[in-house]
Amino acid sequence: MNVVTSHHQEEDIFGAEGVEIHPMDFGLVLKATNNFSNEIGEGGFGKVYKGKLHDGQEIAVKKLSEMSKQGSEEFYTEYLENGNLESHLFGNSQSSGELNWQVRFDIIKGIARGLAYMEERSRGMIIHRDLKPSNILLDKDMTPKISDFGLARICERSGRDSSTTKLAGTFGYMSPEYAARGKYSKKLDIFSFGVIVLEIVTGKRNTSFSPSTNLPSYVSFLQFLL
């Protein structure tokens, strides 16, 4: 059984130069995670556990579930102690207070850099398909890292749309053409990014509006602000 680690340089958001992939003995991962005893999260393809290597480095390990049909490998990367963007935007007030305007701007800029790399500098154009605040992790310096590529697709850079009959992702962050007809391109991630930017700036979830209120949609809320 192979275990893969991905170490990022400080300035990297996703997969830029300097990414290293190393196999690790499964026994070392069992020891680091105390036999997968410290669960810290769960994604679409498996649970995530916190661990510590012999040199003191904290790591996060994703253990793929049998239902994921993604193989029998575990993957680990650096542990990002500030959790995800969603918890800071919509969690307790203390976390929200850490996001001053400069931090919010830097997070937006960092996500944009990550998307630019996925589109322009990776071997193939990567479409994430599930970009949302809970998939944006924050390191100790509040630098954003795009995570959870279980639904991602690698496409040609021709700009032509791809299509699927099986929708995957999160409503509220899906572009209209993807949600309605299953068509996707780089525009899907750009649409999701736009929604995230609005949530970062306003502090409001895109799903927090109701037709029964004076502000039935995000659009009406933004018109009210303007």
Which among 78, 96, 118 is the end of a domain?
78
Task: Name the DSSP letter for residue 67.
Answer: G
Distance between CA atoms of 77 and 145, rounded to whole angstroms? 11
pLDDT (tens digit, 9 = 90+) per residue, 47-95?
A: 888 888 888 888 888 777 666 555 545 555 667 788 899 999 998 655 5
Strands 74-78 vs 125-127: parallel, antiparallel or unpaired: unpaired
Asked if 129 and 20 sit in the same domain, the reply is: no
Domain at 136, CATH number: 1.10.510.10
Higher pLDDT, 210 or 82: 82
216 and 139 fall within a common domain? yes
pLDDT of residue 191: 93
Q: Given 44, 78, 112, which residue is the final one in a domain?
A: 78
Please indicate whether residue 226 or residue 58 has the higher confidence score (pLDDT): 58
- Lowest mean pLDDT: which of 89-93, 137-141, 158-162? 158-162
- Those residues with Cβ within 8 angstroms of residue 52's Cβ, 6 or more apart along the chain or in another chain: 32, 58, 59
* Cα-Cα-Cα-Cα dihedral sign, residues 30, 33, 39, 41: negative
pLDDT higher than 50, residue 17:
no
Does residue 217 share a domain with residue 131? yes
31 and 97 housed in the same domain: no
Is residue 90 within 8 A of residue 84, CB to CB? The reply is no
Single pTM value for the model: 0.71
The confidence score (pLDDT) of residue 11 equals 35
Extract the tokens encoding 107. 């997070």
Q: Can you give the CATH number for the domain in which 17 is found?
A: 3.30.200
The annotation status of 132 as a binding-site residue, yes or no, is no
Average pLDDT, the chain: 78
**pLDDT number for residue 173:** 92
Helix (H, G, I), strand (E, B) or coil at 124: coil
Residue finishing a domain among 61, 78, 95: 78
Residues of the chain with pLDDT > 90: what percent? 20
**Marked catalytic residue, from 12, 130, 148, 189:** 130
Is a pLDDT exceeding 80 seen at residue 21? no
**Domain ranges, residue 136:** 85-225
Q: Are residues 153 and 214 in the same domain?
A: yes
Q: How far apart are CA 79 and CA 133, in angstroms?
A: 17
If phi over 0 gives left and psi between -120 and 50 gives alpha, with beta otherwise, what is residue 24?
beta
pLDDT higher than threshold 90 for residue 217 = no
Indicate if the pLDDT at residue 35 is higher than 50: yes
Question: Between the ranges 40-44, 168-172, 214-218, where is the mean pLDDT highest?
Answer: 168-172
Residue 94, pLDDT score: 58
The CA-atom distances, in angstroms, between 226 and each of 176, 218, 220, 221 are 24, 12, 10, 9
Mean pLDDT in residue range 30-55: 82
Q: Average of pLDDT values for 122-127?
A: 80
- For this structure, is 130 an active site residue? yes
Q: Are residues 66 and 160 in the same domain?
A: no
